[in-house]
Amino acid sequence: MNRHVIRNSVFIACFTTAMGLAIGVAPSVHAEFPDRQTVTDAYVYLLGRAIAIRQEQTDLKEPGIDYNVIKYNPAGSADFVNPNLDVAYLEAWIAVDDKTPVLLEVPEVKGRYYTAQILDEWGEVITNLNERNYPTHPFGKFAFVAPGSTANVPADAVRIELHSRKAKLLGRVELKTDPAGAMALQKQFKLAPLGRPVIQPAAQMASFGNKELIGVELFDNVEAVLASALDVSPIAAQMQAKVRDIGRQAKDAGQRQALDQLIKEEVVPQFLKYAVTQSGVFQNNWLATLGTGNYGADYWRRSSANLVGLWANANDEVIYFVATRDADGQPLNGANDYVLEFSAANRPDAVVNAYWSVILVDVPDYRVVKNPLNRFNFNSDSGLKREADGSLKILFAAKPNAAVPESNWLPSAPGRGFSLTLRTYVPKDLVKRGEWFPPAIKRLK
């Protein structure tokens, strides 16, 4: 299993679960836990860290994967969940110690989008290495060091202090119309420790899935989990005090079962509903991932982002829009024909400084729909045909429809549900302010 199976596109599964919950029903009262809110807060807070730990455990099980080793994902490969077919992708776990930095070399990239996204172990973006954030050093050497480290780094390297002794690297190079060139640049990203760092293994955490989240077992290794990574949230101290309180309760055999019942019957459903209906901004039946990457005191939003799309980037780099329903609120289904129509002034190319893309994946597998055209997504370089008035129509259907140019048709699977993700890279300010949304998806009658 690769990382994408866990971290991407759980949105629909969670959405289905959350929408099946009773709304407006008063929660049951658990006499053993009069402070239900403390349990809820502690669970949601710690879950975000647990999801990152689970991913670390999963990643390190892959053959050939180790700390400080880059994995170069195949460019354009569609053989995983909700793929990003617009970029050559690379990833790594960075691990340092007090005396040992790790050096990343970023190649010079011209005329296409790129970034090296660095995140901490709670899912907070530390920085994005690119020409926008480092205009005087857009490429070259970057040295990652442990918090407070006085280790020497090369004189020609930018020194970057991590939040803890590990970090996640996600690199992206836009394919444009030259995938081979992007792949060549991808391989020029190099990562190496300047010595032999002492690396602690991932913290112990019980396994769990996204459809059935972890229960009371989340609190079985509290001290080790909290000690494994610094949380930069301004309310980390008080939240971790709550976590420790519930951790002590979870050790009591008389309370453990009731605590597990409370978590599974009330806390998890409440969180899932929040994650898919309130963690972003809804408009036109699209969910926008506004406010991701850096969360401040909003640990509910952070844990939600980790669940539905771990390693979310900051909004300066990208904002995602996800749709599973049409303009009438009905689930998208390949049995129907749909059109997404942008007015001339509202086209996605007008609201990005880099590029945009849209991809269709079926549900419940969240994979691209195989078709004779091998057409799975559109982006800024797809050469889509515009209408005479400058507007843009995109068709989502099992077969072409005369209402939309065939070049603008993304095939769906007959009779199967599907989801759309529209990505806006380096979005303009009106997108970041929540003033731009894709139009509602209309079913063609």
Asked whether the beta carbons of 73 and 65 are under 8 A apart, the reply is no
Task: Say which residues have a Cβ less than 8 Å from residue 33's Cβ, sequence separation at least 6.
Answer: 39, 249, 255, 258, 259, 262
CA torsion sign, 52 to 58 to 64 to 67? positive
Total residues belonging to the chain: 445
State how beta strands 442-444 and 377-379 pair: unpaired
Q: In CATH, which of 1.10.10.60, 2.60.120.600, 3.30.420.40, 3.40.605.10 is domain 317-444? A: 2.60.120.600
The residues of the chain scoring below 70 in pLDDT are: 1-34, 76-81
Q: 71-193 and 317-444: same fold? A: no
CA dihedral 406, 408, 414, 419 (to 10 degrees): 180
CA of 432: how far to CAs of 152, 216, 310, 352, in Å? Answer: 38, 37, 20, 10
Task: Look at the block and give the residue holding tokens 């070259």.
Answer: 140
Specify the pLDDT at position 181: 96
Architecture per CATH, domain 71-193, reads as: Sandwich (2.60)
Specify the pLDDT at position 75: 77
Asked whether the beta carbons of 354 and 316 are under 8 A apart, the reply is no
The neighbouring-strand residues paired with 444 are 337
Write the DSSP string, 344-373: GGG-GGGSBSS-EEEEEEETTT--PPP-TT
Give residue limits of the domains in the chain: 3-60+202-277, 71-193, 317-444
